[in-house]
Homo-oligomer: A and B are copies of this chain.
Amino acid sequence: MIAAESNSPPAGPPFEPDRRLAEYETLLDIGVKLSGTLELATVLELALENAEEVCRAETSSIWELDEERKELFFRVVRGSAAGAIRDLRVPLGAGIVGSVAASGEAEVVNDVAADPRWQGDASDEFQTRAILAVPLRAQGKIIGVVQLLNPVGRDRFTAGDLWRMRQFAAILAPALQNARLWTAQRRQFFHTVTALAEALEKRDPYTGGHVRRVVAYTVLLGRQMGLSREELRDLRLAATLHDVGKITIPDRILGKPSPLEPDEVEIMRRHAADGASIVSHLANPWVLHGVRSHHERVDGKGYPDGLTDPEIPLAARIIAVADTYDAMTTSRPYRSGLPHERAAAEILGSAGTQFCPRVVTAFRALCDLGRFSLETAEDAVRAISDVNPQP
């Protein structure tokens, strides 16, 4: 076992002088790559790719520390041991990975069978011979461990491997921490806005779950239309907030158990422009347009701006179909919800008048495949949700 003393790092890399520059150049490149994104999934993928570039091994993995439970959970793995350890959680201090996280000292164990802490392989499919495990430290705290199993093309992990992985861990840890913070902040933002939009919806006694369903149908249609993951996320936020302007509509109109009078319709219609003014701080065109223009019609008879086909933003076109479909298929006190077939026929028949023909084409394709359902739609939402930064 080679224990690395964190207090006395070697003065320079343990390589021939000719190799040293190349080692540093590789590390600098990796650092620039890792800091080039805040997406947690991308950072993790780059991390393992580059761990293998730095030190060839049969398997590499990253463990993160769940501070509350004092456990390491398994974040990503490459190589043949993947299946066996995906769901493992290891108490802080247990085994070799847990002991590296607890001590904060990097370790090479070239004969695991001889190490009293070794707890055996999780499956027969993979036999661990040697481990190189290095703690990940951000802002002075251990946040996880990066681990390599079984060197490839050499007998043992060397002092050079240890040096490289320690340098690599120093670069990876802040990138991983930044991506976790970023993802956590984005999730919080989205969940808070969703919670507010859903609370708001409770004022209207007849539309329980409307926001959630419109979000799901909107994302499903957007995905069918080929939008990117980032675009779908913006669209999801727009759909979540599409009715936020109803915040200012009085209860007596919002909760009226019968059709509205013309003056009440006028007040109800204000929600589109009022909503747009509430979300104007977001400075996100998808959200702004989706909220303001989801009641526009391609024939120009919609509101608040009476836009016509080429002027209506894409987010609004998509939300319009999702919103109308959900309104038609759910019951109100003064009318029953339509079955899917009837509602779908209405949507198809309104292409080019109420709805954008391109969105209706996507809707029709999903219907033809039997895939325009709430279940499929909610799967589409889950697929664009963030990696949980702390499972």
Q: Which residues of A does B touch, CB under 8 Å?
A: 12-13, 17, 20-21, 24-25, 27-28, 31-32, 34-36, 38, 138-139, 167, 170-171, 174-175, 178, 181-182, 185-186, 188-189, 191-196, 199-200, 202-203, 244, 247-248, 250-252, 274, 278-284
Q: In the complex, which of the residues B17, B28, B138 contacts A36, with contact meaning CB atoms closer than 8 Å?
A: B138
Contact B202 A248 (CB under 8 A): yes
Contact B247 A203 (CB under 8 A): yes
A388 CB to nearest chain B CB (Å): 12
Q: Give the copy number.
A: 2
A23 CB to nearest chain B CB (Å): 9
Contact A282 B174 (CB under 8 A): no
Known A-B contacts A21-B24, A38-B178, A203-B248; the reply to A31 vs B171 at CB < 8 A is: yes
A119 CB to nearest chain B CB (Å): 33
Known A-B contacts A185-B182, A188-B284, A192-B279; the reply to A170 vs B32 at CB < 8 A is: yes
Contact A248 B279 (CB under 8 A): no
Q: In the complex, which of the residues B191, B280, B283 contacts A282, with contact meaning CB atoms closer than 8 Å?
A: B191
CA distance A20 to B19 in the complex (A): 12
A253 CB to nearest chain B CB (Å): 10
Contact A188 B283 (CB under 8 A): yes
CA distance A202 to B25 in the complex (A): 59
Contact B189 A192 (CB under 8 A): yes
Known A-B contacts A21-B24, A28-B27, A199-B247; the reply to A38 vs B281 at CB < 8 A is: no
List the 7 closest A-B pairs by CB distance, nearest first: A191-B281, A24-B24, A35-B174, A189-B189, A251-B251, A31-B31, A199-B247
Chain A to chain B contacts (Cβ below 8 Å), 20 pairs: A17-B17, A24-B25, A28-B28, A28-B171, A31-B31, A31-B171, A32-B174, A36-B138, A36-B174, A38-B178, A38-B181, A178-B182, A188-B281, A188-B282, A193-B193, A194-B281, A195-B280, A196-B247, A202-B248, A250-B251
